Each structure stands twice: as structure tokens, then as C-alpha cells.
């Protein structure tokens, strides 16, 4: 029987099991966005996952939206990540990097005084996390169409850096209210040019980015992440089913390694709209990765039914570096300490016990 422990190939990525470590922002890089020795230990500890997707990683200085994020656009950052990929590969693991531009979910203090950018000049509700604490978001600057090839070029540069750092692939982050998701959804995209209005226009930037990244890395090393009904970061759309069904069909042209879907709302946001994920999955011609509140039983059921080819787990991997083995043995799980999720030291990062400890 095919289950979470069965091997699978997502594009060129041969996984020993179907349990994926989801991308998890942990805010423990240095001020220059260079991964540190503590980060090497963290990822190495979790190398038994069939695949690790790194924390979301800015593709440029303008892509940052939180303190102490690792980047993937300077030589020093590439060197820092190379230590991580080497450590994961030495343990027999596979690892891809999630490419990120936050768009409007930032603050000038995180961007050397620059105004955050977005498809349209719509200020998000909520507050930005900065080095001096929580502050109100500012109104972003609407990107001019002439600037968008530069954004695509930043994704290309980051992809080249990721390959130089030894990653097995890249994941394009088009979810959770960040830049590419802001272009997709009509609650944040009010443009009247060829990047706004119709679904085809709103999806144009994602397709341009995906085409360019695939040209560099090869389609068998590229995944895309979507979150059709996640309201996090003040997001909404008037018809998410039509939008994301269409986006899924458009992405089929690239023969991606996988499509990674957040099946609901994160951070207690709930589901803003009813949505048929099975319908979206049936349209998807690439391997499908399901994400959100899965446990072992739901994960196995999703694999057995054909709903998912792989299942991504977030918080369980924070607290259980050996989550695969714990699931295999039906062993009890460590409880995650939410106070240490974002920023801090070794505590709540690399000190969770293994079963054999």
C-alpha cells in the first residue's frame, strides 16, 4: 500500500518518503541574511524528511519583510546555504529553497528607507514586525509595468544562486499574501494594465517568473506554492475557485516538479471562502503536495486516496526533528514551544529531543 513512508519522485527529486518539511520562518539568520552554524544544525537534524523546503528566503534586498531572514542573492549568502545543503545531503536528505518577495508586507525600516512595493497602492491591515517592534504597515508603492522584468530577473538571479549553493531545486512562493499572491488576488490587485483585471492578466507575473525560473533550473527542479483561500496578510479574492483552478491549469504548461497547496487559512485565519481542493487537484498534472493541519492518519489517507503525492508538515517538524521515525513507530510527539518560533537562540530551535535520546 502506498503511504507516507513510500518513496516518490517529484520531478528529479527522488524522496525516500512522502513527508515534507514545510517552509517555516524562524528569524535566526544574521543581519546580512547569511545563514549561521545554528541554521546548519537545525536543517541537518531534520534531514530524514523526504524533502525539506527551507524557510522563505528573500530574492533581493527589496524582498525582505521581517528581521533576521536569510537571503539568496549575495555570495556570502550562497556560501552560508552551501554548508546547509552539504550537511543535509551528507545525511541522505533532499532540500529545496523557497524563493520569496514579500511585496507590501514590509516596512521602510527593513528596506533601507525604501517604500514597499505591490501590484497596487493598497495598505494592508495589521502591523509589520521590525527590529524595533510592531509598527503600522505603510501604503506600498504600485510597481510600474516597466519594473516587472527586474522582479523576474531577481528570481532568475536567486535561482542561479540557489543552484550554486547546492539545492536540489527551488520553490516559487506565490502564497500567503506576499508579492506574487498579491498580483493573483483581486483584493490586492486593482491594476488596469496587462497585469490586472482578468485572471489571465493577474496570473501573468507568476507565469513569467515560473517560465524564467524553469529556464534556469529545469522544470523537474521547480515547485510553486499557492494558498487559494488563506486570508493571512489581509488577503481576499472575489472568486478564488475560478482563479486558482485557472492558475493550476496555466501552470500545467511547465511540467513542474510539484504544486504545493495550503489548503485553508494559516495562523488561525480560518478559511475565508468555501473551496473545492479536490477539484483543483484533479486539474493539476504535476505531483500535488498537500499542506495544512495534516497528522499521520490524514496524511496516509490523502496519499492512499490519490489526493496528494506528498504531504507537508510544519509545526510537527519544528518540535520533532525525527518526525518521520516518530510517525513510523506511532511514538508520542514533542510539543512545540510557540514562544520560540520567531527569533531567539538554540532554545526551541535545535534542542528538541530525538526518540533515541
**Grid cell at residue 324:** 518521520
d(CA 183, CA 163): 27
- In this structure, are residues 118 and 104 in contact, taking their beta carbons and an 8 Å threshold? yes
For a pLDDT cut of 70, what percent of the chain falls above it?
A: 98
Residue 351 lies in a domain: no
178 is catalytic: yes
Residue 59 has what DSSP assignment? S
Summarised one tens digit per residue, pLDDT across range 62-78 is 999 999 999 999 999 99
* Phi/psi at 41 (5° precision): -60, -45
Residue 353 lies in a domain: no
pLDDT, position 269: 58
Q: Which of 43, 66, 137, 178 is catalytic?
A: 178
Which residues, 6 or more positions from 36, have their beta carbon under 8 angstroms from its beta carbon? 28, 29, 30, 80
Helix (H, G, I), strand (E, B) or coil at 262: strand
Summarised one tens digit per residue, pLDDT across range 201-212 is 999 999 999 999
For a pLDDT cut of 90, what percent of the chain falls above it?
A: 96
Residue 1 lies in a domain: no
DSSP lists the bridge partners of residue 141 as: 117
Whole-prediction pTM:
0.98
Residue 282 lies in a domain: yes
pLDDT, position 267: 72
Over 60: is that where the pLDDT of 193 sits? yes
pLDDT, position 270: 57
d(CA 79, CA 71): 11
Residue 114 lies in a domain: yes
Residue 75 lies in a domain: yes
For residue 140, give the CATH number of its domain.
Answer: 3.20.20.70
Over 90: is that where the pLDDT of 285 sits? yes
* Of 220, 221, 219, residue with least CA distance to 169: 221
Q: Directed axis angle between helix 204-217 and helix 240-251, to 10°?
A: 30
Residue 354 lies in a domain: no
Sign of CA dihedral 349, 352, 354, 357: positive
- Indicate the number of domains in the chain: 1
Chain mean pLDDT for the chain: 97
Residue 349 lies in a domain: no
Q: In terms of DSSP H, where are the helices of the chain?
A: 37-45, 75-90, 148-164, 179-184, 199-202, 204-217, 240-251, 277-283, 296-305, 315-319, 323-329
d(CA 337, CA 256): 35
pLDDT, position 14: 98
Q: Are strands 19-21 and 310-313 parallel, antiparallel or unpaired?
A: parallel
pLDDT, position 274: 84
Instruction: List the domain range (segments joined by +) for residue 329.
Output: 8-340
CB-based burial label for 151 (10 Å; 0-12, 13-18, 19+): buried
Amino acid at each position: 500500500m502506498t503511504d507516507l513512508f513510500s518513496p516518490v519522485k517529484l520531478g528529479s527529486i527522488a524522496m525516500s518518503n512522502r513527508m515534507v518539511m514545510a517552509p517555516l520562518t524562524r528569524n535566526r539568520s544574521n543581519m546580512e541574511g547569511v545563514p549561521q552554524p545554528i541554521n546548519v544544525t537545525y536543517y541537518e537534524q531534520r534531514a530524514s524528511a523526504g524533502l525539506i523546503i527551507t524557510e522563505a528566503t528573500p530574492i533581493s534586498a527589496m524582498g525582505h519583510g521581517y528581521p533576521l531572514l536569510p537571503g539568496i542573492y549575495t555570495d556570502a549568502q550562497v556560501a552560508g546555504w552551501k554548508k546547509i545543503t552539504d550537511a543535509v545531503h551528507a545525511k541522505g536528505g533532499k532540500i529545496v529553497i523557497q524563493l520569496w518577495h514579500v511585496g507590501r508586507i514590509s516596512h521602510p525600516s527593513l528596506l533601507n528607507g525604501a517604500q514597499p512595493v505591490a501590484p497596487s497602492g493598497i495598505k494592508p491591515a495589521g502591523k509589520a514586525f521590525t527590529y524595533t517592534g510592531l509598527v503600522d504597515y505603510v501604503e506600498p508603492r504600485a510597481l510600474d509595468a516597466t519594473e516587472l522584468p527586474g522582479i523576474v530577473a531577481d528570481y532568475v538571479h536567486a535561482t542561479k544562486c540557489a543552484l550554486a549553493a547546492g539545492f536540489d531545486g527551488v520553490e516559487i512562493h506565490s502564497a500567503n499574501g506576499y508579492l506574487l499572491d498579491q498580483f493573483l488576488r483581486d483584493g490586492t490587485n486593482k491594476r488596469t494594465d496587462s497585469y490586472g483585471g482578468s485572471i489571465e492578466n493577474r496570473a501573468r507575473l507568476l507565469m513569467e517568473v515560473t517560465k524564467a525560473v524553469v529556464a534556469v533550473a529545469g522544470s523537474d527542479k521547480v515547485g510553486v506554492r499557492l494558498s487559494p483561500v488563506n486570508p493571512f496578510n489581509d488577503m481576499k479574492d472575489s472568486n478564488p475557485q475560478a482563479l486558482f483552478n485557472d492558475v493550476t491549469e496555466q501552470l500545467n504548461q511547465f511540467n513542474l516538479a510539484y504544486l504545493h497547496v495550503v489548503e485553508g487559512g494559516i495562523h488561525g485565519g480560518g478559511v475565508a471562502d468555501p473551496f473545492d481542493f479536490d477539484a483543483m487537484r484533479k486539474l493539476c498534472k504535476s505531483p500535488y503536495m498537500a499542506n495544512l493541519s495534516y497528522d499521520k492518519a490524514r496524511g496516509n489517507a490523502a496519499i492512499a486516496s490519490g489526493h496528494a503525492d506528498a504531504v507537508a508538515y510544519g509545526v510537527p517538524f519544528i518540535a520533532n526533528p525525527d518526525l518521520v521515525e516518530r510517525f513510523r513507530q506511532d511514538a508520542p510527539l514533542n510539543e512545540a514551544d510557540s514562544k520560540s518560533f520567531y527569533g531567539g537562540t538554540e532554545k526551541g530551535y535545535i534542542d528538541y529531543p530525538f526518540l533515541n535520546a
